[in-house]
Amino acid sequence: MLPRRVLGIHGFSKRCLSTRATQILSALDIPTKGEIPGVYDGRWKGSGDIFESKCPSTGEVLARVQSATPRELEESIRASREAFKVFRTVPAPQRGEILRQIREAIAKYRKELGALVSLEMGKIRTEGEGEVQEFVDICDYAVGLSRMMNGRVVSSERLGHSILEVPNPLGVLAVLSAFNFPVAVYGWNLALSLAAGNATLWKPSPSTPLCSIAITKLVSDVLTRNGIPGAVAGLVIGGKHVGEAVVQSTDVDMVSFTGSENTGRQVAKVVQGRFGKVLLELGGNNASIVMPDADLSMALPSVFFGSIGTAGQRCTSTRRLYLHKSIADTFLERLQGMYAKLQPGDPLVSSTLLGPLHTQQAVALYENAIADLRSGGAELLCGGSRYVGGNSPLADHLLGGNFVQPAITIPRSSSPHEADLWKKEVFAPILNVAIFDELEQAIEWNNAVPQGLSSSLWTRDIRNVGRWIGPEGSDTGIVNVNVGTSGAEIGAAFGGNKSTGWGRESGGDAWKQYVRWSACTINFSDAAPLAQGVDFSTTN
């Protein structure tokens, strides 16, 4: 028998758990010794490759997690299908009651889960807790939804006929999620999927397995208490190969994928190739536009949060800043002042605003992007290197972390038509700035990139607002006014256009994708006429 591989996403390391990590894991009942099973289909298991979870702030190995073998994945998918057969018959309001209990369980551990997100993903604590709050919020929403997932009655052109549009449970939903929102994205999907009566199988990012194990434990406890099969909310930890196998499986009715454009493109082709349903939430390349009449005391902190929050690793992070020429100098001077005061630190400490990048690979991407900007003649106003060595403001225990200095740059060319750098999402705190004369020009730049997730306009002029949100305005899925690009609420459908994938999750009408729709024509008359008056009568 071949020995199992240890796949340190971040390299091989020996485990020796700090008090800092021990307290957070113990509070959530996650073992602090030995290998942890990363597959759940009603029972915990995992005999595939071992994945190391590594703290981005310190470099410490937090856990070694057992992933799914191909056979275990098959078993999990089968268990999900069986669980679906049970769950689809549970009346929707009862499913809502189960969701209410899940909401309570997650809310009870809001602080602990938030700390775990911070520890394992690297975002600062308040953002970690905010992410857990999103899970709670979407559960609230879905509890209500469970009594409102209504179809409708459509008038029939035929006498004594009625047409019903009926939503039924869809089947098995696979959720493939990214590292940067290791809790909320699953929450958005799970809540709607449970309300809809589906079984959900989660394949999270292999670099944040502990968040998914903690959440799955809380959810499975609720399911068990209610006599519902655990595989209604299954989990398979694994890397690319497990993801590919999930996507290929014809036993998976719908794939909800959150991740990079490159992976999303592959996933979309495979799922559409087998005529499955696919929902894509891919990369963002989001712009803020600041007009001369903007209230800078509001715009500045929002742009600051948009570009620095989660160390630039939100899909909605502000990556492009378009400043009107009349306020550009003032804005940049004040923004640079805010950047200058920023100190990196332990994301678990409440005063920290800048945490680490998630991995060493992300640091390399950041460094490559900075090198490209420099060689392309960009002016670097601040930042541009990692925090290392003796002059680093980092405490000793953070010297093994992935900390980089947020950068503001002015590329030589302002137009995405002339410089490719504007067209790519670099998942790091790099803010590229350009200066414009007229709003039309800024909107043109805003729309001239492949991605279409979020955008924001800062103005007090209602005419600008009308232009911005209208047919000649921003083409992104999220179009804000006097609100930054980052930080959406759950009530509206969330998602982006163009190469962001056109997917919509969370609120609004997003739930309608998680059900199987049937148009049912019911004839309660004594005749059987054809539609459109077609006459197919026979003589006998």
Catalytic (active-site) positions: 281
Give least dist CB 468 to ligand NAD, A: 21
C-alpha to C-alpha distances, 149 to 137, 406, 514, nearest whole angstrom: 18, 44, 11
Closest contact distance (angstroms) between CB of 421 and ligand NAD is: 16
Q: Are 457 and 478 in contact (CB under 8 A)?
A: no
* Residue closer to ligand NAD (CB basis): 101 or 266: 266
DSSP-based three-state secondary structure for 161: strand
Strand partners, 202: 175, 235
Torsion on CA atoms 112, 178, 169, 275, rounded to nearest 10:
-170
169 or 309, CB closer to ligand NAD?
309
Residue number, 56 or 204, with CB nearest to ligand NAD: 204
Q: Which single residue is written with the structure tokens 């799970």?
A: 190
Cα separation, 492 vs 489, in Å, equals 7
In this structure, what DSSP letter does residue 377 have? T
Name the minimum Å distance from CB 396 to ligand NAD: 29
Name the minimum Å distance from CB 323 to ligand NAD. Answer: 24
Rounded CA separation 15/145 (Å): 44
Backbone angles phi, psi at 539, to 5 degrees: -75, -30
| Distance from the Cα of residue 224 to its chain's centroid | 27
CB 284 to ligand NAD: min, Å: 5
Beta bridge partners of 442: none
Interacting residue ranges for ligand NAD, rule: CB under 6 A: 176-181, 185, 203-206, 239-240, 243-244, 247, 258-260, 263, 266-267, 281-284, 315, 425, 427, 453, 496, 500
> CB-wise, 87 or 257, nearer to ligand NAD?
257
Place of tokens 């469970």: 146
The answer to whether 235 and 39 are in contact (CB under 8 A) is yes
Report H helices in 321-418: 328-341, 360-375
- 454: tokens are 């979020």
Q: How far apart (Å, rounded) are the C-alpha atoms in residues 102 and 110?
A: 12
Q: Tell the smallest beta-carbon distance from residue 425 to ligand NAD (Å).
A: 6
Output 8 or 151, the one with its CB closest to ligand NAD.
8
By C-beta, is 188 or 304 nearer to ligand NAD?
Answer: 188
**Contact by Cβ (8 Å): 150, 166:** no
Q: Which CB atom, from 188 or from 331, has the smaller least distance to ligand NAD?
A: 188
CB 122 to ligand NAD: min, Å: 13
The position carrying tokens 């990048």 is: 357
* Residue 524, phi then psi, degrees to nearest 5: -110, 25
Q: How far is the CB of 362 from ligand NAD (least distance, A)?
A: 8
State which residue, 52 or 346, has the beta carbon closest to ligand NAD: 52
Rounded Cα–Cα distance for residues 457 and 117 (Å): 31
Q: Tell me the Cα Rg of the chain.
A: 25
Measured distance CA(25)–CA(9) in Å, rounded: 20
Do 47 and 69 meet the contact criterion of CB atoms below 8 Å apart?
A: yes
